[in-house]
C-alpha cells in the first residue's frame, strides 16, 4: 500500500465536503478542511500538503489576487497538485482558473468515481515529481563528488570535508572514517550533528571499542554491512549505534584501506543515499591513495629523480580515470529520464555528443562544453509529468493532448529549478527552451532569436538531427542528406542561423559520432 498523502480541501459547502470525504476515507489519506482565507493563511505552518482540492464556490476563489497569493505560498513550500471544482456555468470560471493555475479541473456536480480517478492520478504525478526532485539532489551530490576539490592543506582536512558532506547529503547523524589494518584502526575524520561531540571510538553507553570491532569486521568482510535495529539488537549491538551502515574503502588493487561508518537516524539510508555513500567511499579511497602516492613520490625524489616524471604521469592517469568514472555515473543517472517514453541510451549519448561538438565549433569555453554534454540528456525530464495515455499513444495526438504534451518543458524546468549547481542550472535552461524556435513560434514561452539561451538553441538542433536520422515505430529513419537539407531549410525559422552554420562546419565529426553508436535493434517506441 502506498504512503497516505496529506490533502487540503478549501470549501464551505457541506455537500461537497461530504462527497470528497467519502472518496478519500477508503483510500486512507489525511484530509484537512478550511473554509475561509483567514483560516488558511493562519495555518500555513501546518499545511504541507500533496494535493489541494479547491471549490470554486468558496470565498477564497472570489478574490483572484488573494487566491493566487495563497496558492503561490503553498506551492513554494510543499509543491502540491491543485484540483479545481467548478460549475460549468460559472461566469468567473476563467478568472478563477487563471489565478489558481490548476493541474486538473472537474465540473460540478461530479461523479464520485470520476473524482477518485482524478485524485489518484494527481497524487501519482505528485509522487513522481517529488521523486524526480530527490533524484536531482542525488545527481547534484554525485556531480559534486566527481569534481570534489578545494584549498585544504592536508589529506585529513579533505577527508573531514568529505565526511561532513556525506552527513549533509544523507541526513545521517554520525559519519566516521577509520583507516588502517583490521586490528589497528585509527579515526581519521568524523562528522556529527552536534558540533564538538568528538565521541571517538566509544559513545555514551557503548561497549569497548565498538568502532574497532566494526572496522575489523568490515576489513575481513570486504563488503557493505547494513544493520537495522532488529538485526543489531539480536547481535548484541548497543541501540545508540543503530541502524548502521559501513562501506569498505578499497584501493585500486582491491585492498581494504579503511571503512566509512554512518549511523544514527532511526532507519537505514535509502538506496539513493547508499549510492552517494559508495561514490563517497570511492572518492575517499582516491584521496587516500593520492596522499600515499604523493608521500612515496616525495621519498623517491631524493634517490630516483629520473623516475619522478613517469610516476606523476601515472598518477594523473589514475585521477583522470576516476574522474571519468564519476562523470559516467552522473551520465547514466541523467539518461534514466529518457526510458519512460521508449527512448534508449543511444539517443541521449548521441545528441549530447552532437551538442558538445557544435558548442566547440561555436567557440564555447571548455568547461561549459563539458557541462552541456552532461546537462543535454535531461532536456526531456519533464515528460515524467505527462500522462502515459498521451506519452505512449501510438497514433497522432489530438489538439488537447498536444497542448498537454507541450507542458513538458515547463514541468522539466520546475523539476530542475532552484539548484545552485551549474550543471542543474544549465539543465533547467535546456529543458525550458529546447522547443523554442528562432522565429518565435515555439513553446512554451514563444521566445525568439537571441532571447532563447544558446544552449537551448544548440540542443534543439542536435535533438532534431538525431530524431530525423533514427528509426521509430511510426517512421523510417531519414537519410543524412534529407535531414541536413531539412535543417538548412529551417535556418532562420526553427533554428539559429549561426548554430546551423556551426552544424554544417562540423558535420563530418557528427557523422563519426553517429557511426560509433550504430546499433542493430528494433525501431523505438514513440
What's the pLDDT score for residue 480? 94
459, part of any domain: yes
Is residue 263 located within the same domain as residue 294?
A: yes
In a domain, 325, yes or no: no
- Report whether 439 contacts 494 (CB < 8 A): yes
What's the pLDDT score for residue 440? 96
| Confidence bin at 453 (pLDDT 50/70/90) | very high
- Of all residues in the chain, the percent with pLDDT exceeding 90 is 20
Does residue 208 have a pLDDT over 50? no
374: Cβ–Cβ under 8 A, 6 or more apart, which residues? 143, 327, 330, 331, 334, 352, 423
- Give yes or no for residue 481 having a pLDDT over 80: yes
> Residue 416: is its pLDDT beyond 70?
yes
More confident residue, 132 or 526: 132
User: Out of 29-43, 273-287, 391-405, which region has the weakest mean confidence (pLDDT)?
Assistant: 29-43
Which is nearest to 180 in space by CA: 292, 48, 271? 292
Closest CA to 326 of 137, 145, 164, 159: 145
What value does the mean pLDDT of the chain take?
75
- pLDDT value, residue 407: 93
Q: Is residue 312 part of a domain?
A: no
Give residue 522's pLDDT band: very low, low, confident or very high (50, 70, 90). very low
In the listed set 303, 321, 344, which residue is the last one of a domain according to the structure? 303
Q: How many domains does the chain have?
A: 3
Task: Output the domain CATH number for residue 59.
Answer: 3.40.50.2300
Q: In angstroms, rounded to a whole number, what is the distance separating the alpha carbons of residues 286 and 222?
A: 17
Mean pLDDT value across residues 76-99 = 71
- Helix (H) / strand (E) element for 493: namely none
Helices (H), 194-270: 210-221, 229-234
Q: Are 525 and 392 in contact (CB under 8 A)?
A: yes
Domain that holds residue 264: 147-303
129 and 196 together in one domain:
no
In a domain, 20, yes or no: yes
Predicted local distance difference test score (pLDDT) of residue 163: 79
Is 469 among the domain residues?
A: yes
Whether residue 451 has pLDDT greater than 90: yes
Which of the listed ranges 13-17, 26-30, 98-102 does the model predict with the highest average pLDDT?
A: 13-17
**Whether residue 243 has a cis bond before it, omega within 30° of 0:** yes
Provide the sign of the torsion angle of the four alpha carbons 405, 384, 343, 430, taken in this order. Answer: positive
Task: Tell me the C-alpha distance between 346 and 341, whole Å.
Answer: 14
Residue at grid coordinates 526531456:
380
The closest alpha carbon to 168, from 258, 265, 271, 267, belongs to: 265
Clarify whether residues 281 and 417 are in a common domain: no
393 assigned to some structural domain: yes
pLDDT single digits (tens) 117-161: 777 777 777 676 666 655 555 555 555 555 555 544 566 777 777
pTM: 0.41
Q: Is the bond into 109 cis (omega within 30 degrees of 0)?
A: yes
pLDDT (mean) for 395-416: 90
418 and 363 housed in the same domain: yes
pLDDT of residue 361: 96
* pLDDT at residue 104 is higher than 90: no
- The residue from 75, 107, 137 where one domain ends is 137
Task: Please name which of 496, 502, 503 lies closest in space to residue 449, comparing C-alpha atoms.
Answer: 496
**Which triple of cell numbers denotes residue 419?**
539548484
CATH number at residue 338: 1.10.3210.10
Amino acid at each position: 500500500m502506498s504512503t497516505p498523502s496529506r490533502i487540503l480541501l478549501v470549501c464551505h459547502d457541506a455537500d461537497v465536503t461530504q462527497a470528497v470525504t467519502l472518496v478519500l476515507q477508503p483510500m486512507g489519506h489525511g484530509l484537512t478542511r478550511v473554509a475561509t482565507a483567514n483560516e488558511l493563511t493562519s495555518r500555513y505552518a501546518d499545511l504541507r500538503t500533496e494535493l489541494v482540492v479547491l471549490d470554486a464556490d468558496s470565498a477564497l476563489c472570489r478574490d483572484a489576487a488573494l487566491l493566487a497569493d495563497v496558492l503561490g505560498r503553498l506551492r513554494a513550500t510543499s509543491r502540491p497538485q491543485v484540483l479545481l471544482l467548478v460549475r460549468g456555468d460559472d461566469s468567473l470560471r476563467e478568472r478563477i482558473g487563471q489565478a489558481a493555475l490548476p493541474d486538473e479541473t472537474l465540473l460540478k456536480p461530479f461523479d464520485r468515481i470520476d473524482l477518485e480517478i482524478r485524485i489518484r492520478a494527481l497524487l501519482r504525478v505528485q509522487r513522481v515529481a517529488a521523486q524526480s526532485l530527490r533524484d536531482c539532489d542525488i545527481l547534484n551530490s554525485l556531480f559534486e563528488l566527481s569534481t570534489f576539490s578545494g584549498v585544504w592543506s592536508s589529506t585529513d582536512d579533505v577527508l573531514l570535508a568529505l565526511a561532513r558532506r556525506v552527513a549533509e547529503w544523507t541526513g545521517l547523524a554520525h559519519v566516521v572514517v577509520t583507516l588502517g589494518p583490521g586490528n589497528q584502526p585509527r579515526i581519521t575524520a568524523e562528522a556529527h550533528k552536534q558540533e564538538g561531540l568528538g565521541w571517538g571510538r566509544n559513545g555514551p553507553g557503548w561497549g569497548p571499542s565498538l568502532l574497532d570491532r566494526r572496522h575489523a569486521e568490515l576489513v575481513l568482510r570486504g563488503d557493505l554491512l547494513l544493520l537495522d535495529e532488529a538485526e543489531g539488537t539480536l547481535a548484541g549491538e548497543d541501540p545508540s549505534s543503530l541502524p548502521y551502515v559501513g562501506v569498505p574503502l578499497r584501493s585500486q588493487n582491491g585492498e581494504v584501506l579503511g571503512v566509512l561508518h554512518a549511523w544514527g537516524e532511526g532507519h537505514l539510508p535509502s538506496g539513493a543515499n547508499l549510492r552517494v555513500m559508495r561514490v563517497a567511499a570511492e572518492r575517499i579511497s582516491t584521496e587516500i591513495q593520492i596522499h600515499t602516492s604523493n608521500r612515496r613520490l616525495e621519498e623517491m625524489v631524493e634517490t630516483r629523480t629520473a623516475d619522478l616524471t613517469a610516476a606523476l604521469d601515472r598518477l594523473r592517469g589514475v585521477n583522470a580515470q576516476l574522474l571519468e568514472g564519476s562523470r559516467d555515473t552522473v551520465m547514466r543517472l541523467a539518461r534514466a529520464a529518457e526510458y519512460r517514453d521508449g527512448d534508449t541510451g543511444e539517443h541521449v549519448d548521441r545528441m549530447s555528443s552532437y551538442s558538445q561538438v557544435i558548442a566547440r565549433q561555436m567557440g564555447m569555453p571548455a568547461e561549459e562544453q563539458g557541462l552541456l554534454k552532461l546537462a543535454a540528456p535531461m532536456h526531456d525530464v519533464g515528460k515524467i509529468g505527462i500522462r502515459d495515455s498521451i506519452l505512449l499513444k501510438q497514433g497522432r495526438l489530438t489538439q488537447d493532448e498536444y497542448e498537454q504534451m507541450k507542458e513538458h518543458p515547463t514541468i522539466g524546468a520546475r523539476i530542475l529549478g532552484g539548484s545552485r549547481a551549474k550543471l542543474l542550472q544549465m539543465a533547467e535552461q535546456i529543458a525550458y527552451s529546447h522547443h523554442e524556435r528562432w522565429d518565435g513560434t515555439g513553446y512554451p514561452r514563444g521566445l525568439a532569436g537571441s532571447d532563447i539561451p544558446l544552449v537551448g538553441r544548440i540542443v534543439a538542433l542536435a535533438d532534431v538531427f538525431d530524431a530525423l536520422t533514427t528509426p521509430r515505430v511510426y517512421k523510417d529513419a531519414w537519410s543524412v542528406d534529407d535531414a541536413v537539407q531539412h535543417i538548412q531549410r529551417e535556418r532562420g525559422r526553427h533554428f539559429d542561423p549561426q548554430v546551423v552554420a556551426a552544424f554544417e562546419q562540423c558535420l563530418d565529426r557528427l557523422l563519426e559520432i553517429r557511426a560509433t553508436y550504430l546499433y542493430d535493434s528494433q525501431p523505438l517506441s514513440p
